[in-house]
Structure 1
Amino acid sequence: MEILSISDTRCRKCYRCVRECPTNALKIDRGTVKRSWDRCILCGICYRHCPHDAVSANTGVKQVQALLESGQKVVVCLDPTFPAVLERGTPGQLVTALKKLGFSEVWESAIGGDLVAGAYRSWLARNTEPSWISSFCPSLVYYIEKFAPHFVDRLVPIVSPMIACGLAVKRLRGAETKVVFVGSCISRIWERMDRFGNKAIDYVLIYHNITSLLEAKGIDREAQEPSEFDGPPNSLGRILSISGGMSKCVGFDQDLLNLDHVVESGAEEAMRAVRQLQEGKIRSRFLDLLFCQGCIHGPVTDKKISGPSRKQILVDYIRTQDKPVSVEEGNTLKALEQLDFSRRFAARDVSVPDPSAAEIEAILDQIGKAYPLQNLDCGTCGYSSCWEKARAVVQGLAETEMCYHYLLESLQGLYSRLEKSHVQLKSSHEELEKAQRQLIQTEKMASLGQLAAGVAHELNNPIGTIMMFSRVLQREMDQNNKWQKDITLVVQEADRAAKIVKDLLSFAKETKIRPGLVSINRVIEEALSLLVNQSLFHNIEVVTYLDPSLPTTFADPDLLKQVLFNIILNGAQAMDGRGALTVKSLSVDNGRRIKIRIQDTGKGIPEKHIPRLFDPFFTTKEKGTGLGLALVYSIVSKHKGAVSVESQLGKGATFIILLPVLGQDEWNKSEEPVEELKDVPEGKSYESQRKDLIG
C-alpha cells in the first residue's frame, strides 16, 4: 500500500498539491493527480496543504491496534514535538491514556536525540573537513539521494533520533519488544522500512492516529491521573524538533557572525542551500537543514496553532523537565552510547536528460508562453518559470494542462468556437424553418387554388343565371313597385358574388411570369399614378423616397404593380381614407437587393391575427375576400423575393418587400427565394406575414 494516497472521490481538482510539491512529484494526468514515487520525498506538504483532506497517510494503525489487543509488550516512543501537538491535558495525563490503550511503556524519543547529538559531536570532531550535512531529517536525505546524489557522501552517516530511540528500547527491553514511534513526520514511515530502520522500529504512527485510537476507546486524556514517562531521562534532545536544534546540541557557537555552521529550514530554503553548496557559495563546516520549518511545523500538526505558539508550548515543557540525572540513569546512558548508530546512504539519481532549447521552445509555443514577451513565470503550475515547466513537459514529468493560463485560453478558444457553431446552427435552423414555412405555404396555396377553381366553376353558371333574370326583372318592373328595392339588392349581391368568383379564378389560375429588365422606381410611380386620383386617396398624403441609384432587375412589371396595388389599397383602407402613406425604395446588401417599404398610419392589428395574414380567405372585413395578400405572397415568392411586415397598434403598419437584383441568366438559374427581412428597425417583426387587417 502506498504511504501517501490521493482519494479520487474527495479530490476536487483544485490542484493545490501539484503547485505546492517542492520536487514536482505530482502531475495532472487526464484531470487526475498522479504521484511519481521516483520523485517523491514524502515531505508531506501535499498532505498538509490539501484543503479537502483528499491526501491520506497509510501508517498501519490497524496492525498496531491488533498488536495492542494481543497483549504483547509494546513500547510507544513520542516525538519531541508531542507537547505542542497533543496539547489537550498534561503530558502525564497523556502517558496514562496511552497505557490504557494497551502500551506497556511510554517513552520520550528525545533520548534518541541525545544519543544522536553525542554521535554527531564525536563524528564532527574526527572529521574536520567542511560541508557536512545533517541526516536526521528523512525528507532531506531522500532529496539529496535523488536530486543531489553527488552530496550523498557529505551526509553525516548517523541514524536519526527515531532509530536511535528504537535501538535503545530494544537494548534495554529486549529485541522481542515491539516499538511504535508516534510523530508529526510522514517520511518516518518510509525510514522505518529501510534496512537500518526496521531493526529498531516496528511501526510508525502519526498524531492523528493516536487521537483516533483514544476516541474509539472513549478515553478522555484530560480525565486521567498523570503518570511519569518510562525509559532513560532526556536532555537537550528535546530541542531537535526546533530549527537549529542539532547545531545547539552539537555545540556550535550560536553567534550570528559565526559561519562554521548554516541553519536552514523549510523546503525551498533547504533545497536552495543544497544548490548553493554545489555552486560553492556555502563553505560552512556543517549544514543543519530541515525540510520543514522545524519538526514542530511538520505536516501532521494542528494548523490552527501558530508556529510561535507551538514553540512556546514546547519550550515551557522543556524547562519543566530540567531534572538531575541519578547515577544509575547516568550509567544507563553511558551503556546506550556504546550502541552502533552508524548508517550509510545510497545515491538514487532520478534526473533525466536535459532537452534541447528547441524542444522547450516548441512546448512554450504550444501553450502560448514563448519568451520573452508571452511568458508569465507565475509559478501556479508548481514550477519556478514557464521555461522550467516546458522542460518538465518534454521530460515527461508534467503535462501542458498543468498551466492554468493555457487551460483558460484553451477554454476561451473552445467557447468562441462553440459560440460560432451555435450561431451557425441557429442560422441553419432558421433557414430550415423558413424553407419549411415557404413549402407549407406553397402547398397550401396550391391546394386552395385547386379548391377555388372547382368552387368557382360550379358557382359561375348559377350566379350568371341569377344575374341575368334579376336584371330582366329589374328592367321590366315598375320603378314604384314595392319589390323594386329587393330586386335591386339581389342584382347588387349577384354582382358581388360574380366578382368573388372572378377573384377565385384569378387566384386559382397559374400566373405566368413575363420577366424583363425593369426599373422598380418606375413601377412604383406608375402604380401610384393609377391610384392617387381615386376618391379614397383625396385625404391621404402620399410621400415617396425613391433611391435614384437603384439598379434595374429582372422581373414582371405587371405582377409587381398588382402587388403594389393590393398593399397600397389595403393601407388606404386601414386609414379610413385619412392619414399619410409613405413609399420608399433603397438598395441594400451592397446593391444585391432592392427593398421597398410601404408605410401607413392606420390602426395596426392585434398580434393574434398576424400568423394568418397571408392565408387565403382570411379577412376581418365585412366584404373582403381574403385573397389580396395571398396573391401578394405568391407573386413575391415567384420573383425569388420575400415579404415581411412590422406593425404597432395605433401607429400603423409597414410592408417590406425584398427583391433580388438579377440579370436574365441569374433569373433562369435562381431556384431558391432570398432571405426574408431581419433588419426591421422598429416595432415587432413578423417574417412573411402582414400586420394590417385587409381583405
Structure 2
Amino acid sequence: MALDERFELLSHVVEIATSSVDADERLNSILVAVNNYYQARCMALFVQHKGGTPFVLAHAWPNSLLDERNLPSFTLDEGLMGKVALSRQVVQEKVTPDTDDRALKSIAEIARTAVLLPVVDDRKLYGVAALILNESTWLDDDDLRVLLMIAREMAGTMRNYDLYLEAKKRIAELNVLSDMGRYAVSTIELNELLDTVASICAKLLGAEGGLVRIQTKNHEQKELTAQYGNVPDEYVTGPIPTDICSPQPVFPGLIRTRGTDDSERKGILCVPLTFKRGHKGHLLVFEKKVREQGELQRGFTLEDQKTINTMGVMISSALENALTMHSIETLAQRNEEMVQFLGTIFEISTVLMNTMDFDETVQIILHALIHPAGFDHDHVILFLVDDLSGVLRTVAEMQKSHFISPVKELRDTLYEVQGSIFDDHLEPSPEVIDLKLPLDPQKSILAKTVLEEKPILVDNPAKDPQVNPLLKKVLGEHAFVSVPMFAKGKAVGVLVVSNSLSGRNFVERDVKFLSMLAQLGGLSVETSRLYQSLEKANKELAYMRNRLLEADKLAALGEIAAGVAHEIRNPLVSIGGFTRRIRKKVGDDSQITPYLDVIIEEVTRLESTLNEMLDFSNEARDHFSEFDLNQIMDEALELLERELSDQGIEIQKKYGKDLPMILCDDRQVKHVFFNIFLNAVQAMANQGGFLTIRSFAVMREGKQFVAGEVTDNGGGIPMDVIHNIFNPFFTTKPNGSGLGLSIVHKIVNRHFGHVEVHNSEGEGASFLVTLPAAEEGRAYLK
C-alpha cells in the first residue's frame, strides 16, 4: 500500500476524530473509514466502561453486528482479545476452528484474517478493536503501524469524551459553588473577591476593620492579603497569634488594645479558612464597639462568632474557586506563552534544517532573536569558541535599529535570509569586530558562561569588572544575558543578548527560552561548520584524485612524446644539416634556393616543436618567469595570422587592463593558446566568424588568478564527445593526432591552473584558461 494512501487514511481519521460531532458518531465513522479502506468484512470495537468489567461490543460496522439482546463480550483472561488487552500489543491471526475466543468468533468467520488492536493511550486501556479481513488478505508491518495510530486516535476520541463528561460534571459543581459564592460576594475575580470579603465581613459584623490572609499551597506565589478599614499593622505582615485563632473556629473573647474607657473596648475575631487543595488562610475582623439605646455593648458576641463561622465556610468555597481560577489563568497564560515559544522554535528549527551553510545558519539565528515575531530582543552578539587559540571571537552582531526591512512573518523572513548573501548588518561593529576574549572565567563573564555551562544575567555591565571594556562600550549600561551554546557536550559559542532599545527587563522565562534556542543554535552552527569542513575535504580529495588520474594519463603521453621526439630528431637533424650545406653550395642565385629556404625554415620550426615536446615530457619548470598574459596571447595569435586572414575570421580583443603578471614558461603557455586558437580556426573553417579573446582577473578560493578566455562561433562541440576532449589521442578530425588539448590540459595543470570549456552546441564553444598570479604561483612552486 502506497505511503500517500496510508497518509490519506490517517488524515481522514484525524479529520473525523477532531470533528465536532458526537463521540459515538466519530467512532462509528472511523470504523466505517477503516473497514472500507481495507475492504474488510467488518470492524468492531469492544469497550470496557469501568475497570474490572468485561469488554462489551459497543460499536461495529456493519451495524447488523450490534444485537442489543446479546452483545458479545470478553474478559482479560479470555482468548486472543483478552491477550491483546493484557499485552496492549497488536495481533494478526487467522480465525480457525481451534480459535479459543467466543467474542472473536461471534463477529468473524472461519479462515478470516483478524487484526486485533489495543485502543490505548499512554495511561489507560479503553478497549480492543477487531478488523476482520478477507481470507487472502494479510497486512504488512506498515499497515499494522497505521492501524495502531488509528487505534490511538480512537483512544484519544474516547479520552476526550471522558474528559468532556468529567468537565461537564465539574462545571455543574462549580455552578453550585458559584451560587454559594454569589450569596456572600459579588465576584470570583481573586483580588476583587478578597477586597469584597474583607469589606463585607467587616460591615456585616459592625467591625472597624477586616483582613483576609491566604498562603497558597507550597508557596506557589506570595501571600495574598486584602484589608478594609483600620487593621493593626502587626496582623498584616506578622504571624497571626495562635491564642486568637485555632484550627477550629473559636470565640477568642475580647482583647483590650488601647484606652481605659469601656466605650473604647476593642476585640479581634478570627476564623481559619479551610481549603481542600492545601491552601491556608484566615479571616479576621477588628475593633467592634456598639452603643444601643445609650448602653455600651461588650463587642463581639457568640452570634458574631456563629456568623463569621458560616461566612468562613461559604467564603472558603468561593475563595478556593477564585484561587483555582487564578491558578488556571496563570497556568493558561504560561501554557500560551510556552505554545507560542514552541511554535517559534519549530519555525526556526524548520528553516535551520533546510540549510547547511554556516553564514545562513548565523543569519537565521540572529534574525530569529531580533524579529518582533521571534524573540523580539534589541541587540545580539554572537561569539564562537576558537579551539586552536582558546579564545572567544566575535562572529556576528545585529541590532533591531538595523532591522529596516518591512516586518513580515517570522518564517517568511527566515526563508528570505536563507537564500540571501551574508547581511552587511551582521558585520560586528568596529569596537568588537576583532574582539577575542580568553577562556578565563576570572577575566571574562562570557568565559565564565562557557565553563560553568549556564546562562548568566548581568544587571549592571558598567560596574562588572568581568565585562570587557569594549563590550561595555557597545552594550552600554543596559543589562544583558550571556547564554552558552553547546553541541554534543562541547562548547560552541556564546550569545550575548540585550534589550538596549526597549529597556525591557529580563525575567526567568526569557533566560530559559534563550537557553533553549542556544542549544538549537549551537547544534546547527556546529553541524554547518562540520559540513563545511567535510565539503572542503571532499573537494580537495576529488581535486587530488582528478589530478592523479590526469597525471597518470599525461605521464604516458609524456613518454610517448619523448620517444617520438627522439625518433624524429635524428633524421630531422640530418635533413636540416644536409639542406644547409646544399644551400651554401648553390648560393643565392640558384633556382632551388627558395625551396631550400622553405625546407630549412620548416626544419627549424620542427626542431623547436620537438624541443618543446621534450621540455613538456620532462615536467621542467626551470624556465618560469613573470610574463604578461595579454602579450603571450598576442604572440600565439600572430602564428596563425595567415590562417585567420584566409578563413575570413574577425578578431575581437577584450583585454583587461593592469592585470597581474603570471609566473609561467611563456613558450608552453603560448603553445596552450596556439592550440586553442587553432581549434577555433578549424571549427570555423570555410564559414568565417568571430574569434573573441578576453582576459581578466579573478579570485578563486581567496587567491588571485588571471584568466584568458577564447570564444568562437564554430558550432560548438557535440555533447556526446565533450567529456573526452582532454583525453590523449582522442580526436574528431580525420587528420588529427588527438594530442592538442591533452597538451593544453597538462601544461595548464603544470602551471597550477585550470582549463574549462563552456559549450553551446550549434552555436560555439568557449575555453577558459585560469593561471595563478605571480605571487600565488611562487607559493605553489614552494
**Fold conserved (TM > 0.5)?**
no
TM-score (norm: length of structure 1): 0.40
TM-score (norm: length of structure 2): 0.36
Instruction: Point out the structure with max Rg over C-alpha.
Output: 1
> Larger RCO: Structure 1 or Structure 2 (Cα < 8 Å, ≥ 6 residues apart)?
1
